[in-house]
Structure 1
Amino acid sequence: MATETRSADVSVNVTSKQWVAGAVGGFIGSIPFGLLMMYVMPPPLLEVVIPAMYGIEGPALLAGWAIHQFHGVVLGLTYVALVQAEPLRETARSTGGALGLAVAYGIVTTVALAVVVMPLWLGAVGFPNAPPFPNVGIPATIISGIGHVIYAVPVAVLYARSFAE
């Protein structure tokens, strides 16, 4: 009895231009989201909570911004990797499709990171004011979702524009 093994070819050509678009879009998108965190969301998220995830005692606004911008770049690169999946690849190349994916990515990152990961991470590092798990509260979760969508728009649009010659 012979067995046959098949493997799917998942190799995708992502150019350096597309990786740079994801990183730059993530950096740019993190700026308005960071301002939203500073001036709209309950303080002291950017200056105390974000640094606390890395064991930095606050207030440490500069560290909070640096970490937030780093997260933005990493999530921008993650977006580029995720949209290589077949159902998303073509959609991500058009501006209209990119805007739809930005909304979806903003919602997914809110649920995954703000609702699930952040309270667990803060609890694990012993932050005394860690939010409850899951971290769902109104209006904070809605504002976080809006911030993540605002963040994702430059990521998705710059990625889509990286295909224009």
Structure 2
Amino acid sequence: MSTVTDTANGSTERGNWRAGVLGGIAGALVMGVLVVAMNTPTIAVAIPSLYTLAPPQNPLAGFVVHVSHGAVLGVIFAGLVGAADLDAPGRLVGAGVAWGVATWVVFAALVMPVWLGAVGSPASPPFPNFAPPSLLWHAVYGLVLGGVYTATSDAI
């Protein structure tokens, strides 16, 4: 499922960034629905606060920022699985879940509390913030990312 393309200058490119973007967007959308269902202020205040787009609550901006982050993280995922030469569907989906958990640890639990505190957000959680619902959200992001990447990496 990872692609290897020889270019005119002889370099090799691994992974499929387009499938990473698509998987990252799909994963972020599904994750965003879970976040809204379980803890709307995360999307409406915390995420847009990262870029001083809230308060007041701004769920649309939060969703746009969240999906943008998902797309960028999907491209990084594509690069990682390409570098690791992963192409078996089960391994790609598993790597997606692992990537989702890694993003939870690094970004949600460690970076986000510091960043929100630095911008003075009223939604700043304690540091570190290893919240179990957030782990679920990020694992689902990774599951969808890995699944969509697997399904599309040879097609786009």
Distance 2:91 2:24 in 1: 18
- Runs of 5+ consecutive residues of structure 2 not aligned to the other structure: 1-10
Q: Segments of 4+ in structure 1 off by > 4 A?
A: none
Corresponding residue number in structure 2 for 1:108: 102
Tell me the secondary structure at the aligned position of residue 130 of structure 1. Answer: coil
Task: Tell me if the contact between 2:97 and 2:141 (Cα under 8 Å) persists in the aligned partners.
Answer: no
Tell me the secondary structure at the aligned position of residue 13 of structure 2. Answer: coil
Aligned ranges 1:7-156 → 2 under 5 Å? 12-14=12-14, 18-41=16-39, 43-57=40-54, 58-85=56-83, 88-90=84-86, 93-136=87-130, 141-156=131-146
- How many equivalent pairs are there? 144
Normalized against structure 2, the TM-score is what?
0.83
State the Cα deviation string for residues 133-154 of structure 1 (Å, max 9, x = none).
1112xxxx22211111211123
Task: Tell me if the contact between 2:100 and 2:140 (Cα under 8 Å) persists in the aligned partners.
Answer: yes
Per-residue deviation, 1:119: 0.2
Distance 1:160 1:105 in 2: 14
Corresponding residue number in structure 2 for 1:163: 154
Distance 1:158 1:33 in 2: 14
Tell me the secondary structure at the aligned position of residue 13 of structure 1. Answer: strand
Task: Tell me if the contact between 1:12 and 1:84 (Cα under 8 Å) persists in the aligned partners.
Answer: no
Distance 2:137 2:38 in 1: 10
Per-residue deviation, 1:12: 4.1
Per-residue deviation, 1:31: 1.2
**Residue type at the aligned position of 2:154:** F
Tell me the secondary structure at the aligned position of residue 55 of structure 1. Answer: coil
Distance 1:127 1:108 in 2: 24
Corresponding residue number in structure 2 for 1:7: none
Larger Rg: 1
The root-mean-square deviation of aligned C-alpha atoms, in Å, is 1.9
Equivalent pairs: percent with the same residue? 38
Normalized against structure 1, the TM-score is what?
0.79
Task: Tell me if the contact between 1:103 and 1:149 (Cα under 8 Å) persists in the aligned partners.
Answer: yes
